[in-house]
Amino acid sequence: MKMLPWLVDTPANFNERCKELPHSEDAIADALALASCELNLNQAYRLHRVIEKSERLRTSLAGKLEHFKLGIVSNGTLDLLLPMLAITALRRGVFLEIVTGGFDQSVQDAMDPLSAINQAKPDAVLLALDFRAYPFGKEAWAASPLNARSEAGLELLNQIRTGFRSNCGALCILQTLAMPPRSLLGSLDSQVDGLLIREIAEFNRSLTQSVSDNADVLLDVAAIVGQVGSRNWFDERQWLSARIPIAHEFGPLYCEQISRVVAALRGKTRKCLVLDLDNTLWGGVIGDDGIGGIVIGQGNPTGEAHLDLQKYALELKSRGIILAVCSKNDDAVARSVFRDHGDMLLKESDFAIFVANWDDKASNIRHIASSLNIGLDAIVFVDDNPAERDIVRRLLPEVAVPELPHDPALVTGTVAAAGYFDMVHLDADDALRSEQYAANTKRQDAMQAAQGVEEFLASLQMTMSVSGFDAMGRKRITQLINKTNQFNLTTKRYTEPEIEAMENSDEFVTLQARLTDRFGDNGMISVVICRVQDDAWLIDSWLMSCRVIKRRVEEAICDVLVRQAKQARVSFLRGIYRPSERNALVRGHYESLGFVKLSEDNGTETWELEVASYVDKHPPIEIDHPQRQVASTA
């Protein structure tokens, strides 16, 4: 049984390809392709070693992918898993730098400001602790008050968490605890006070609540082990001989789960599911079998399996994932199934874009990405045809293409298990995303009907609300900062604790903007962070959602910034443009707003605007009572 069935099999010539990797003309693509195979620990070690020994390849990958520095503390030995963890992060679009603490020294590493992890200033620290790290892990049954041992465990965890937060400012990734494989009283384990199983259950419940209260992130190891079985997950021989906490065969799965959390923290969660039709959403070929000949619906195992995939797609849509169709079909024939077949759960209106033609699917997926104004790395493509999957993987390596089983009954579980849409936080803006993209289609229709751009913008009746950072918007602000690439002047990344620290700091002026128009609520669409200097505000970060590009939103935000600067008696706004692979869109941003270039150093540009001489742009956007942060430099 494959542990990670959505990944393609490792090629037979894997070792040869690893050896040739440093000399490849397209080494980055080749490295990522190998990382996307289902590797065992030895293969991951070999690939990681090749990358580490090639400075050119390592530097290229670090420059292309999102960088993330992860600290890890554990009560066990995880050294054998670190190469696998770095490789699984690559397949999620993240270049991972790992810093480890001492063996079973979690408290010391957290509390010592000079520990290796605290000195490294990681983006996050993974507390890779299992039940044996806590007070209740010492004995199966203790005569103690109800939940006393679980509360002691939480106190220990909070001590570690607080230490890292104070000494390096990192958020913590906290693990739920898997149940040990040994039972003492069988079914009574979860009912008797003081029993280990009951204490762990209470610990997990309290931990889940505390994570949301303390701006940390959860890695639900208990859920993972619940799927594979604790007798399989724990290997007592490995633990007793080398303090290895996880059975070797489950190391890749554990690393995969960690990488998903890290990727989500960097905004690498996929946002669009592109679906094939024939033999994917239904059984059969609509063009050959006709609407009465395809297999879908209750009473047939194959039909119910395809229905299950439709149900999953609707569940994703309900939490904000965009749905799209990409099918080699006659357009009218393909649409007729959604309109006329009574057993279809998905309807034509559920899709933000519907592409059915005879062009190659790679070109059609590019068209879908362009139409939705999203990157290819936001897309997951599901197709039953292995040839089509292979073509899209080769031509569009940024697109996630899960390998699918031949049995339709296993398809939905495989796609869901791949975790492409995993998130660390979910807010109202996420749930509205699919509706927002549907509204964008109406905006495009309105633009086509208008006589010009200004008439179109005026017809939108836009209203923008502006305020400083606050607790209510904190998670969404952090999410935007970590996932926005195109309209992002510096592509700096900040954690939620860092954002929280800015909220009431005199050293920062912050701005969050939300936009509504006659077609709907666009949600939070822009974030600005300014550092207060002697006579100026330095714009540290300025980013905006691609959904509202070319709607003069940046002009409205600049107007607000200047008004706030005048109120604070600030003489200048200074902005930085730091080029990346994906932000060429904003190269002329500051110049278009009237800033003057002061300097350029290795491509990084510094711009300045004299506040007193600025003339408001007055875009057709009503500002809804902006709340001004007055950080005076006078």
3-state secondary structure labels for all residues of 15-78: HHHHHHHHHCCCHHHHHHHHHCECCCHHHHHHHHHHHHHCHHHHHHHHHHCEEEEEEEEECCCC
Q: Is the pLDDT of residue 451 over 90?
A: no
Q: Give the domain extent around 380.
A: 272-417
What is the chain's percent helix, strand, coil content, to nearest 5? 45, 20, 35
pLDDT at 634: 44
Residue showing tokens 């992890």: 117
Confidence band of 139 (pLDDT split at 50, 70, 90): low
**Can you tell me whether residue 569 is helix, strand or coil?**
coil
pLDDT, position 181: 86
Give domain status of residue 425, yes or no: no
**In-domain check, residue 632:** no
**β-sheet bridge partners, residue 508:** 531
Radius of gyration of the chain (CA): 26
**Quick one: DSSP state of residue 10?**
P
Whether 2 and 133 share a structural domain: no
- What is the pLDDT, as a whole number, of residue 630? 46
Q: What amino acid is encoded at 581 in this protein?
A: E
Structure tokens at 77: 């030995």
One domain for residues 361 and 291: yes
Question: Is the pLDDT score of 151 beyond 90?
Answer: no
Instruction: Clarify whether residues 25 and 102 are in a common domain.
Output: no
Task: Indicate the helix (H) or strand (E) that contains 600.
Answer: strand 596-601
- Residue 335: both structure tokens together: 């649409």
The values of phi and psi at residue 346, to 5°, are -75, 140
The continuous run of DSSP H or E covering 124 comes out as strand 124-128
Question: Could you tell me if 103 and 215 lie in one domain?
Answer: yes
> Residue 341: how many CB atoms within 10 A of its CB?
15
Does residue 431 belong to any structural domain of this protein?
no
Residues 455 and 535 in one domain: yes
Residue 214, pLDDT > 80, answer no
Residue 143 lies in a domain: yes
Higher-confidence residue of 524 and 135: namely 524
In angstroms, the CA 217 to CA 203 distance is 16
CATH number of the structural domain spanning residue 451: 3.40.630.30
Lookup: tokens for 8: 């393609």
Backbone torsions φ then ψ of 224, nearest 5 degrees = -65, -50
What's residue 148's pLDDT? Answer: 74
- The pLDDT value given to residue 146: 57
CB-CB contact of 253 with 219 (8 Å): no
Beta pairing partners, 379: 272
Three-class DSSP category at 8: strand
Which tokens belong to 569?
A: 């008696």
Q: What average pLDDT does range 62-75 have in this prediction?
A: 95
- Euclidean distance between CA atoms 80 and 5, whole angstroms: 22
Q: What per-residue confidence (pLDDT) applies to 86? A: 98
C-alpha pair distances (Å), 9 with each of 2, 538, 625:
9, 50, 57
Please state, in angstroms and rounded to a whole number, the distance separating the CA atoms of residues 502 and 395: 43
pLDDT at residue 2, as a whole number: 83
Tokens, residue 498: 């860092």
For residue range 9-54, list pLDDT tens digits in order: 999 999 999 999 999 999 999 999 999 999 999 999 999 999 999 9
The amino acid occupying position 241 is S
In-domain check, residue 396 = yes
Q: How many domains does the chain have?
A: 4
Please report, for the domain that includes residue 247, its CATH number.
3.40.50.1110
Residue 137 CA: distances (Å) to CA of 179, 194, 232: 11, 12, 19
Q: Are residues 297 and 257 part of one domain?
A: no
**pLDDT reported for residue 632:** 46
Residues 117, 239 share a domain: yes
Q: Quick one: pLDDT band at residue 142, thresholds 50, 70, 90? A: low
Residue 86 lies in a domain: yes
* Residue 93 burial (CB count, 10 A): 18
The domain that holds 328 is classified in CATH as 3.40.50.1000
> Residue 230: pLDDT above 70?
yes
Confidence bin at 628 (pLDDT 50/70/90): very low
In tens, the pLDDT along 515-554 reads 999 988 889 999 999 999 999 999 999 999 988 988 999 9
- What is d(CA 157, CA 147) in angstroms, rounded to the nearest whole number? 15
- Check pLDDT > 80 for residue 508: yes
Number of alpha carbons in the 13 Å side-chain half-sphere of residue 13: 6
Whether residue 125 is found in the same domain as residue 234: yes
Q: Which of 217, 247, 265 finishes a domain?
A: 265
Q: Is residue 427 part of a domain?
A: no
Contacts for 201 with CB less than 8 Å, ≥ 6 apart: 179, 190
Residue of 404, 349, 359 lying closest to 381 (CA atoms): 404
Reduced to 3 states (helix: H, G, I; strand: E, B; else coil), residue 162 is helix
* Cα atoms in the 13 Å half-sphere on the side-chain side of 531: 7
- Tell me the average pLDDT across 100-109: 96
Contact 194, 143 (CB under 8 A): yes
- Please indicate, yes or no, whether residues 364 and 457 belong to a single structural domain of this protein: no
Torsion angle in degrees (nearest 10) through CA of 103, 108, 112, 117: 30
Query: How high is the pLDDT of residue 445?
Result: 76
Cβ neighbours, 10 Å, residue 335 = 16
- CA 347, 353, 358, 361 dihedral sign is negative
At 234 the pLDDT is 95
Q: Is residue 633 part of a domain?
A: no
* Average pLDDT of the residues in 379-395: 97
pLDDT band at 192 (very low <50, low <70, confident <90, very high): low
d(CA 126, CA 171): 9
Q: Are residues 107 and 151 in the same domain?
A: yes
How far apart CA 378 and CA 619 sit, in angstroms, is 31
- Checking if the pLDDT of 332 tops 90, the result is yes
What is the model's pLDDT at position 182?
A: 77
Of 379, 385, 414, 382, the C-alpha closest to 397 is 379
Q: What are phi and psi of 281, to 5 degrees?
A: -90, -15
With a pLDDT cut of 70, the percent of the chain lying above it is 94
pTM: 0.85
Could you tell me if 83 and 71 lie in one domain? yes
The answer to whether the beta carbons of residues 553 and 522 sit under 8 Å apart is: no
Q: How much is the average pLDDT of 79-103?
A: 97
Tell whether 234 and 106 lie within a shared domain: yes
